[in-house]
Amino acid sequence: MAMATATTNNEEYDRAKAVKHFDDSKIGVKGLVDSGITTIPRFFVHPPETLSDLKLSSEVRPGPDIIPSIDLTGIHSDHRRAVIVEQIRRASSTFGFFQIVNHGVPLGVLDRTMASVKGFHEQPTDIKAQFYRRGTGTGVSYLSNVDLFHSKAASWRDTLQIRVGPQMADEDQIPEICRKEVIEWDREIKRLGELLAGLLCEGLGVEAKRLKEMTCLEGRVMVGHYYPYCPQPDLTVGLAYHTDPGVLTVVQENHIGGLQVKYGGGYVDVKPIPGALVINIGDLLQIISNEEYKSAEHRVLANPKNEARVSMAVFFNPGNRDDLYGPLPELTSPEKPAIYRQFTLTDFMTRFFKKELDGKSLTNYYKL
């Protein structure tokens, strides 16, 4: 294919033209792989400073699994709940990431949804192309790289994105291959999100329903990421390092691995656990908690394996975009004043999407 020229070609290069050609083709990175390329298009190549620490992955330097795994068994008994709340509080204030097991979401639901999202991405291009769009008006879009046209370099993944709250996209807009599964999965993840929000509130010492009453769980978007084999994984990434802008993210991933969290000056692997879900704190919750909880930078490595990495995530955001958000008054005092000013969610999200994804965090912008 014309777009799959060698990355070492020093002839005059029109990046904007190459990116538009790729986007207009609607084939995604899966289509590039299927075409048999052996070198990745130049606009996927990341600068050396982005790639310099990829070799510090624990795949190269084995280390302990330091991202906590928390067992939710017995969550409704007083003693176990107190233990679990403390484990979540510690993980959220230290790593900003943790995994949960025995979370109550049936494994059959997880397996069916994962298989259906994988199935969507592995359909023929002409079927997927019907959903390929950058606008989100229908509530459903399939695309490669939400920030393709203004990032420094593209990442090696495709994404199916579906609005699931406050009001789910029209059912007939959701691809039939995963429609029933996504609706079932969302029902379970919504319930789990409410449980987690209550536990996080208890860890802060505020009313368990505080985040829910602030509509923090109503605005929900689901993404189904597909990371196919990359022929040059040392030149690009699957997902550039960033922090999530919202309140809370719930992630399901298959067994391939590649998710890394920044901790202690480097990156550590989040090693897949069968049946587990990965939870991470977003920028908004860091702000709302007045930095009791931390939003951690994370990334996904380009996939060097012949089997695709597939992950699904739900981003929980406030449903009311015009309310003011900032540190909870209950968490501020003369001894610990508010670290952030107040702002509307509309302002916050507008600033987020005006920048490319690389290294993005808005917490500094809103600091007092």
Tens digits of pLDDT across the chain (368 residues): 444 443 444 457 899 999 999 999 999 999 999 999 999 999 999 998 888 877 544 343 445 679 999 999 999 999 999 999 999 999 999 999 999 999 999 999 999 999 999 999 999 999 999 999 998 889 999 999 999 998 889 999 999 999 999 999 999 999 999 999 999 999 999 999 999 999 999 999 999 999 999 999 999 999 999 999 999 999 999 999 999 999 999 999 999 999 999 998 899 999 999 999 999 999 999 999 999 999 999 999 999 999 999 999 999 999 988 899 999 999 999 999 999 999 998 888 887 766 544 555 678 888 88
Q: Among candidates 4, 22, 306, 249, which has minimal Cα distance to 144?
A: 22
5 assigned to some structural domain: no
- pTM recorded for the entire structure: 0.92
**By C-alpha distance, which of 128, 152, 156 is closest to 41?**
156
Cβ distance 254 to 301 under 8 Å?
no
Residue pointed to by tokens 């039939």: 176
In a domain, 359, yes or no: no
325 domain-assigned? yes
Token pair 């990175």 in the structure block, residue: 29
* pLDDT at 2 (0 to 100): 41
pLDDT at residue 351, rounded to an integer: 79
Q: Measure Cα distances from 22 to 2, 29, 302 in Å.
A: 10, 9, 19
Identify which of 133, 178, 328, 137 has the alpha carbon closest to the alpha carbon of residue 247. Answer: 328
What are the start-end ranges of the H helices in the chain?
Answer: 15-25, 28-34, 48-51, 78-94, 107-121, 125-128, 179-204, 210-213, 283-288, 345-354
Residue 74: which CATH number? 2.60.120.330
Spatial distance between the Cα atoms of 252 and 311, rounded to a whole number of angstroms: 6
Q: Rounded CA gap, 224 and 158, in Å?
A: 8
Which of 263, 284, 283 minimizes the C-alpha distance to 67?
Answer: 263
Tell me, yes or no, whether 112 lies in a domain: yes
| Number of domain units in the chain | 1
Note whether residue 365 is domain-resident: no
Would you state the pLDDT for residue 64? Answer: 61
Q: Is residue 204 part of a domain?
A: yes
Q: What is the pLDDT of residue 348?
A: 86
1, two tokens:
């294919």
Q: Is residue 96 part of a domain?
A: yes
At residue 237, the pLDDT reads: 97
For 316, the domain range is 15-354
Contact by Cβ (8 Å): 182, 307: no
Is residue 361 in a domain?
A: no
